[in-house]
Every structure is written in structure tokens, then in C-alpha cells.
Amino acid sequence: MAPHAADDAQVEQPASPVRTTARTIPEIKKSVAGLTQSASFPAPLEYSGSLDAYESFDVTNVIGREYSKLQLSEILKDDAKVRDLAITVSQRGVVFFRNQDINIEDQKILGQKLGELTGKPSTSKLHKHALSNSKRGISVDENGKLDDEVSVISSDQNRKYYKGRYFNSKRPASEGWHADITFERIPSDYAILKIVKTPDDVGGDTLWASGYEAFDRLSPVWQRFAEGLTATHYQPNFNKVAAEHGLELIEDDRGAPENKGNDFTASHPVVRTNPVTGWKSLFAAGHQVHAGWIDNVTETESEVIKEYFNRLIHENHDLQVRFKWNKNDLAIWDNRSVYHTATNDYEGKRQGNRVVSLGEKPFYNPASKSRREALAGL
């Protein structure tokens, strides 16, 4: 999401829940075997070419594509084109569209169709954010509509609930990298953000980084090591903010039956296979594991591993892409394979509507390839 909402705010962390303790080698091998047994992994999907007629360009070699003139409202009812759009987003990580006329209801329809047309489970719907939902009273359109399936990205709300991360902050901007809602047991596949208000004093860009390329930056030894790991993603801020401000959280069925409760923890593979592309992505870096940990290692080892993974994202600007928003611009990204962060360099008001689709339970397929291997035909 673009400015930091509830799932990205960096605040003082409360005590963590009980960590997974180190286990014996046979126990770890058994756990990894359970993750990697490959009975029926989905086959990667093929792009049909239905969007080739629309003007577009790749923003960098590694990540990002922009369609200069395409209106998403024009292709919403064409399933072949929506399916190809989802495949393109998964391959390029994030795709940009300028000056979109799509309304919030159609944005929700598109968010759900992107996953449905690429094979997500029937039980996975649109995410209902535990904190950034209709209970905050911010409308999603000019008619005052409130909607739990839309997270309003509001600089005013973020500044109220999360301090120390905004204009003139002394904290490193690189702390903000994350993928959306990975603390859920069924996390996001696609997210769509449309910015409806840009700050008068400019600023507020968003950056995305490729988890595919981050995995490819690892040495073969580290790749094999990472493939055998899981990590616990943990978000303590919701309960903290709710207690401080007297807010009610959504605790039941946040878009999938598995996403309930207020512990906001989930263990996922450190290397995740994207079912649409079949490519491996580094999935356990950034803010989603800031308060979490790498499973089955010591606390010191966990912090070392997390710090190295973070450096791959923070310090390699050639796996990043930066987008400057104008009013009504829209971005779609694949949360399984990219990280993103806001640039909090503005004093004015910034607001957008984000629709987050839920996908599959994260998995690692040992037969999957890295992005570089796949593109090289290896």
C-alpha cells in the first residue's frame, strides 16, 4: 500500500508471542519434507497475448510495466484480458495505469477476478482489514459509502494512529518495505490501489522491489538454505493501536475462513513459489517479519538472517521501481512476489482506495525455478 497503513506502521513493539523454539535435526527435516512434498502443485499459466494491442513499456528491466492509455473499465468484462492482466502483474511484479475512471465497485470486481481467473481457492474473497475498515468512518466514494472490503489509505488517519514515521522523521525510510497482510494465514495475491487525492506539496511516491530478483541475488548455498526455512509473520500493532484509541477490530472471517482471531501471526515458507509464474520469491523480508522471526533457529540467528534478507531489498536499487502518483492513477501488484514502501516526504493530505484480494495458502514447490532460470530457459 502506498502511505503506511496499519499493517506497516513502525511503532514500539509489545512483547512477542511464544517463539518457535529450536528443534532437533530430524524434526526440522520432517517439517521441511511436509512443506516440499510435490504431489499436485499448479502448473504456471501462459500469457495469451490479448493485451499486446495496448501501448505499454517496461519501467525497468526487472520490475514494473506501465500501460499508457488503457482504461481498466474497458476490459473488466473480458475474462481473457483480465486473466492476461493478472499474469502480466505476476510476471512484472507491479503494473501502472494513468488517470483511471474505474469506480470503487468495479475496482472490487477486478480485484476478485484477478485471483479467480488464475486459480485461487473459492473460499478466498476480498480482504477485510482488521483495523483499516469501515469502522474508521472514511468513505470510499463521493456518496459517503463505507466498505469493509476497501482499505482507505489516509495520511490523516496514519498520522493519528502511527507517529514518528512521517514528514521530518528521523527514522530510516528503508524500514517501511513490506508485502500486504502476510500475518494472515491466507494472505494476499493481488492488491489494487487507486490514489484519489495527492498532496498539494508533491511527494508521496511509492516504491516496489522484486522478491524474485532478491532470491536470485542469493548464492546457490544460501538459496538452498532459505528453501528449507519457514518464518513467522507477526503484526502486533493492531492490538496496540486498538487499545490506545479504543477501537474495535474485525476478528472473524477477514475474507477467508482461516483469517480470524486477533493473534495476527502466521508461519509461511521463506521462499514462496508463485503459482501463476512458477517462480521462486524471497518472502520473509521487510516489515512483515520485523516483529516476527525465522522458525527453528536461535533468536540471534533469526536476527542475522532477517537483516541479510532486508539488505537485499533495501540496498539494491536495481531491483526496485519508483512511481510518482497523479490523481486517479492506479497500481496493481502481486503481494506474493514484491515488496513496497511509501515515501513519507510530504505534509499535505494523501488518500487512496486499496482493494486486497486473498489468494492461496503460501507454498514452496521444490521443482519451481527462479525468475532468471525461467527467462533463460534453464
Please report whether residue 18 resides in a domain: no
pLDDT at 166: 62
State the pLDDT confidence band at 138, using cuts at 50, 70 and 90. confident
Please report whether residue 199 resides in a domain: yes
Q: Which residue did the predictor score with more confidence, 33 or 263?
A: 263
pLDDT at 30: 44
State the pLDDT confidence band at 21, using cuts at 50, 70 and 90. very low
Residues spanned by the domain of 295? 25-375
What is the CATH number for 195? 3.60.130.10
State the pLDDT confidence band at 329, using cuts at 50, 70 and 90. very high
Asked whether the predicted pLDDT for residue 37 surpasses 80, the reply is no
Whole-structure pTM value: 0.90
**How confident is the model over 143-193, as pLDDT tens digits?**
788 899 999 888 877 777 766 666 667 778 778 899 999 999 999 999 999
pLDDT at 155: 83
Please report whether residue 255 resides in a domain: yes
The answer to which of 25-29, 189-193, 202-206 has the lowest mean pLDDT is 25-29
Task: Round the average pLDDT of the chain to a whole number and report it.
Answer: 89
pLDDT at 14: 46
State the pLDDT confidence band at 19, using cuts at 50, 70 and 90. low
Please report whether residue 3 resides in a domain: no
Please report whether residue 9 resides in a domain: no
Residues 73-88: b if buried by 16+ CB within 10 A, e if exposed: eebbeeeebbbbbbbb
Most confident of 109-113, 244-248, 344-348: 109-113
| Mode of pairing for the β-strands spanning 188-197 and 151-154 | unpaired
**How confident is the model over 283-316, as pLDDT tens digits?**
999 999 999 999 999 999 999 999 999 999 999 9
Quote the number of domains for the chain: 1
Please report whether residue 10 resides in a domain: no
Please report whether residue 304 resides in a domain: yes
Please report whether residue 173 resides in a domain: yes
The answer to which of 26-30, 104-108, 265-269, 271-275 has the lowest mean pLDDT is 26-30
